[in-house]
Amino acid sequence: MKIVASPLLSSLGGVTACFTTRHGGVSRPPYTSANLAFHVGDAAADVLANHDLLARTLGYERSRLVYMRQIHSDRIVRVDETVNFDTPSECDALITDRPETALMVMSADCTPILLYDPLSRAIGAVHAGRAGAFLGILPKTIRAMEAAFATAPENLRISFGPSIGGCCYEINTQIAAEAEALGYRNALRFEEKRVFLDVNTILLTQLNEMGISEERVDVVRACTACRSDTYFSYRADAQKTGRIAGVIMLR
Ligand SMILES: [Zn+2]
């Protein structure tokens, strides 16, 4: 399976952190070919085969991978021994300090985020689209890691995977007003009568407010809608499409 490693997180050692692309799997159109989501209409056997391919590529047991039934919420689940591949939780963030347990976040335009603190040896995986960003899922996950594992936010290294950019994510005036009311005017771009939102700008602003500077964050600067040849895009692929994933695991 074709993957993109997070250079920042990988450079620290003790962790595997990467994002998948749409290439290197077995799914057929419109899920060609490395779709990892069961809920999008793809053949379950193909999705399972893709999970096996990814597990082999990264070197973990598929049963030790935990993914989420993502609901655009601010719900965070701490992964312990009771959670496994067959028991996904409804949530939008996973945290753990368990080694050899892979956390997965799936996306097709939303931002998949991986977090690692090498000192407290804790990791997180977050799904943040516009709704999640407005709800503060990323800062809430960092606070949850602080409470659960004594993770100091300033020690975290964070990786944003490919997501839809402000170039392509057009929103309506109601959502634009909501963004303004929340203090995120800097994430809006006005073009004649149209408005575009850059969700990563909101996320980086939230990190900055927690004292986490941009050099602690690496961003895959690829817009999923512009680059739907490489990634799945819910918008560019007219909604019927697969999901890429971010995966993080303590070694
Ligand atoms: Zn774009």
pLDDT digits (tens, 9 = 90+) for 132-188: 999 999 999 999 999 999 999 999 999 999 999 999 999 999 999 999 999 999 999
Domain region containing 25: 3-163+221-250
In this structure, is residue 195 part of a structural domain? no
Confidence at 67, pLDDT banded by 50, 70, 90? very high
In this structure, is residue 22 part of a structural domain? yes
Residues 245, 104 contacting (CB under 8 angstroms): yes
Residue 251 CA, ligand 1 centroid: distance in Å: 35
What CATH number did the domain enclosing 38 receive?
3.60.140.10
Residue 227 CA, ligand 1 centroid: distance in Å: 7
Nearest 5°: CA angle at 244, between 242 and 73? 90
Judged by DSSP in three states, 112 sits in: strand
In this structure, is residue 174 part of a structural domain? no
Residue 164 CA, ligand 1 centroid: distance in Å: 6
Residue 228 CA, ligand 1 centroid: distance in Å: 9
Residue 118's nearest CA partner among 233, 5, 37, 8 is: 8
Output the pTM of the full model: 0.97
Environment of ion ligand 1 (residues, CB < 5 A): 165, 167-168, 223, 225-226
Q: What's the mean pLDDT in 21-29?
A: 97
In this structure, is residue 198 part of a structural domain? no
Residue 87 CA, ligand 1 centroid: distance in Å: 35
In this structure, is residue 75 part of a structural domain? yes
In this structure, is residue 236 part of a structural domain? yes
Burial class (CB in 10 A: 0-12, 13-18, 19+), 27: buried
In this structure, is residue 176 part of a structural domain? no
Residue 121 CA, ligand 1 centroid: distance in Å: 35
Rounded distance between C-alpha atoms, residue 225 and residue 162, angstroms: 10
How many structural domains compose the chain?
A: 1
Rounded distance between C-alpha atoms, residue 195 and residue 207, angstroms: 24
Residue 17 pLDDT: 97
Residue 139 pLDDT: 98
List strand residue ranges (DSSP E) for 150-191, in order. Answer: 157-160, 170-171, 188-191
Model confidence at 239: pLDDT above 90: no
Residue 3 CA, ligand 1 centroid: distance in Å: 21
**Mean of pLDDT over the chain:** 96
Residue 167 CA, ligand 1 centroid: distance in Å: 4
Going from the C-alpha of 54 to that of each of 5, 47, 116, 148, 170, the distances in angstroms are 13, 11, 20, 29, 33
Model confidence at 238: pLDDT above 90: no
In this structure, is residue 43 part of a structural domain? yes
